[in-house]
């Protein structure tokens, strides 16, 4: 049996080997690395941010890498990150508990790989940070999802990636992963399908804006639309929603990535529902997965002008509203948009996404060349 997988098997049984002499462990694993080195390990110790992993694999593959292993928790694995028709890359899973993943790193198992990408470093422990940078030969890359979470411990990472750099002089590299597979772009539906996805809390989305606007559409007998809301924590939505709206709004709760991707790919417009008064952190320190999903599935956004400016959207690739009252008008505009104008908007978004991909690929290429 390959010794790599023998050690992993022991980990899975909570039998931790070679704990008495760390120096000996490192030397031993370095030797094994030279005769049995793999290419890329992507580590996600949390139960979130799984939507980033396919895009990182796509970028690495574009740079010539083909051998991928994903180290993740049981809970994240059950969300079916890659269980959808369009994903074409061959990957292997290492599925452990959070405690076992920490032990995997502690034992020096990262030294079997040329590159280790830590998909979330926002809450990674100081102990693991030190281990990552101590006596290793692999290239370590950490992904920071919220600039506000930057701490001194992150100095242990050689390279830090952010999904959106904003106006920052910090030594971060912007790499935005938004690949969810190869698929045919959908055409405009006869009944316009709006969609929003993510954690359904007031801290992330303005549902009152949506509910009031849908109510107004119904009052004005504009009925050829449907809104699908995907995500957990929908109490605030259910509290605000009126019964008569339920014919035009469906709430899925938390679902697998593969089912979410299916719904999004069949939608016409994405609603991030960001409010510049309530959600200022999305202007300066963190980005929303809504942007990645819009880019990846080529679904135009209906977006507030403040965020449109920060994220470089224009009337050529999105629908931009100014305030609460204007949001209703823009929903009505989207419902009545003609096929030609809609297709031009999608082409504009496709061009914007391509530029993001080229910039991301150049930044990742530079990191790997260092």
CATH assignment of the domain containing 284? 3.40.50.2000
Q: Is residue 369 part of a domain?
A: no
Residue 360 lies in a domain: no
Strand ranges for 122-267 from DSSP E: 139-144, 159-162, 172-174, 192-197, 225-230, 249-253
Based on the domain organization, do 254 and 326 belong to the same domain? Answer: yes
Check whether residue 243 and residue 127 sit in a common domain.
Answer: no
Same domain, 274 and 322: yes
The last residue of a domain, from among 126, 159, 180: 180
Bridging pattern class, strands 113-118 and 38-44: parallel
Instruction: Find the helix or strand (DSSP H, E) in which 118 lies.
Output: strand 113-118
The CA-atom distances, in angstroms, between 151 and each of 40, 159, 341 are: 26, 14, 46
**Burial of residue 263 (number of CB atoms within 10 Å: 0-12, 13-18, 19+):** middle
Same domain, 13 and 158: yes
Same-domain pairing of 264 and 324: yes
DSSP state for residue 188 in the 8-state scheme: P
Any bridge partners for residue 318, and if so which?
none
Q: How far is CA 329 from CA 48, 240, 332, 346, in A?
A: 35, 21, 5, 20
**What is the chain's pLDDT, residue by residue, as a tens digit (370 residues)?**
444 555 554 544 443 443 334 444 454 455 454 444 578 999 999 888 989 999 999 999 999 998 889 999 989 888 887 766 556 677 888 888 888 888 888 888 888 888 999 999 988 877 777 777 655 678 889 999 998 888 877 777 878 999 998 877 778 899 999 998 777 777 888 999 999 998 777 778 898 899 899 999 999 999 999 999 998 766 666 666 667 788 898 888 888 888 899 899 999 999 999 999 999 999 998 999 999 999 999 999 999 999 999 999 999 999 999 988 899 999 999 999 999 999 999 999 999 999 999 999 999 999 999 8
Q: What angle do CA 339, 344, 347 make, to 5 degrees?
A: 125
Please tell me whether residues 238 and 325 are part of one structural domain.
yes
| Residue ending a domain, choose from 158, 180, 202 | 180
Q: In what order do the strands lie in the sheet with 249-253?
A: 249-253, 225-230, 192-197, 269-270
Residue 224, domain member (yes or no): yes
Burial class of residue 214 (count of CB atoms within 10 Å of its CB; 0-12, 13-18, 19+): buried
Cα atoms in the Cβ-side hemisphere of radius 13 Å centred on 217: 29
For the chain, state the CA radius of gyration: 22
Structural contact between residues 29 and 136, judged by C-beta atoms closer than 8 angstroms: no
Same domain? For 136 and 240 the reply is no
Q: Which residues pair with 270 in a beta bridge?
A: 195, 301
On whether residue 239 sits in a domain, the answer given is yes
DSSP letter for each residue of 322-367: -SHHHHHHHHHHHHH--HHHHHHHHHHHHHHHHHHHHHHHHHHHHH
Q: Is residue 362 part of a domain?
A: no
Looking at the fold, whether 172 and 263 belong to one and the same domain comes out as no
Q: Both 64 and 144 in a single domain?
A: yes
CATH code of the domain covering residue 63: 3.40.50
**Domain assignment present for 187:** no
Answer yes or no: do 58 and 165 share one domain.
yes
Q: Is residue 283 part of a domain?
A: yes
Of 149, 180, 211, the residue that ends a domain is 180
Instruction: Of 317, 324, 194, give the one whose Cα is nearest residue 263.
Output: 194
Residue bearing tokens 């809104």: 227
Number of domains, the chain: 2
Structural domain for 162, as ranges: 3-180
Residues 223 and 97 in one domain: no
Q: pTM of this prediction?
A: 0.86
Query: Per the domain annotation, does 42 fall within a domain?
Result: yes
Residue 70 shares a structural domain with residue 144:
yes
């Amino acid at each position: 049996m390959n010794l790599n997988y023998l050690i992993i098997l022991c980990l899975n049984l909570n039998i931790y080997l070679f704990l008495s002499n760390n120096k000996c462990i490192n030397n031993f694993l370095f030797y094994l690395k030279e005769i049995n080195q793999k290419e890329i390990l992507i580590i996600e110790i949390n139960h979130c941010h799984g939507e980033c992993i396919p895009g990182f694999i796509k970028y690495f593959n574009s740079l010539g890498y083909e051998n991928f292993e994903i180290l993740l928790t049981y809970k994240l694995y059950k969300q079916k990150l890659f269980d959808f028709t369009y994903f074409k890359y061959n990957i292997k899973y290492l599925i452990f508990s959070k405690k076992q993943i920490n032990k995997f790193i502690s034992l020096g198992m990262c030294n079997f790989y040329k590159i280790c990408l830590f998909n979330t470093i926002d809450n990674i422990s100081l102990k693991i940070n030190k281990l990552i940078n101590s006596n290793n030969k692999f290239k370590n890359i950490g992904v920071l999802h919220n600039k506000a979470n930057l701490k001194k411990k992150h100095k242990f990472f050689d390279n830090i990636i952010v999904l959106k750099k904003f106006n920052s002089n910090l030594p971060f590299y912007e790499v935005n992963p938004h690949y969810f597979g190869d698929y045919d772009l959908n055409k405009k539906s006869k009944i316009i399908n709006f969609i929003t996805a993510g954690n359904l809390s007031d801290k992330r989305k303005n549902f009152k804006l949506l509910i009031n606007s849908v109510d107004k559409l119904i009052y004005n007998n504009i009925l050829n639309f449907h809104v699908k809301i995907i995500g957990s924590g929908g109490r605030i939505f259910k509290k605000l929603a009126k019964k008569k709206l339920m014919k035009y709004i469906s709430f899925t709760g938390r679902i697998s990535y593969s089912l979410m991707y299916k719904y999004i790919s069949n939608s016409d417009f994405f609603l991030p529902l960001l409010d510049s008064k309530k959600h200022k952190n999305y202007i300066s320190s963190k980005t929303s997965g809504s942007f990645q999903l819009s880019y990846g599935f080529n679904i135009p956004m209906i977006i507030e002008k403040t965020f449109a400016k920060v994220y470089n959207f224009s009337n050529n690739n999105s629908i931009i509203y100014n305030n609460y009252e204007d949001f209703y008008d823009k929903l009505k505009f989207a419902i009545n948009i003609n096929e030609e104008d809609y297709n031009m908007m999608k082409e504009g978004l496709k061009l914007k996404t391509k530029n993001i991909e080229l910039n991301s690929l150049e930044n990742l290429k530079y990191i790997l060349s260092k």
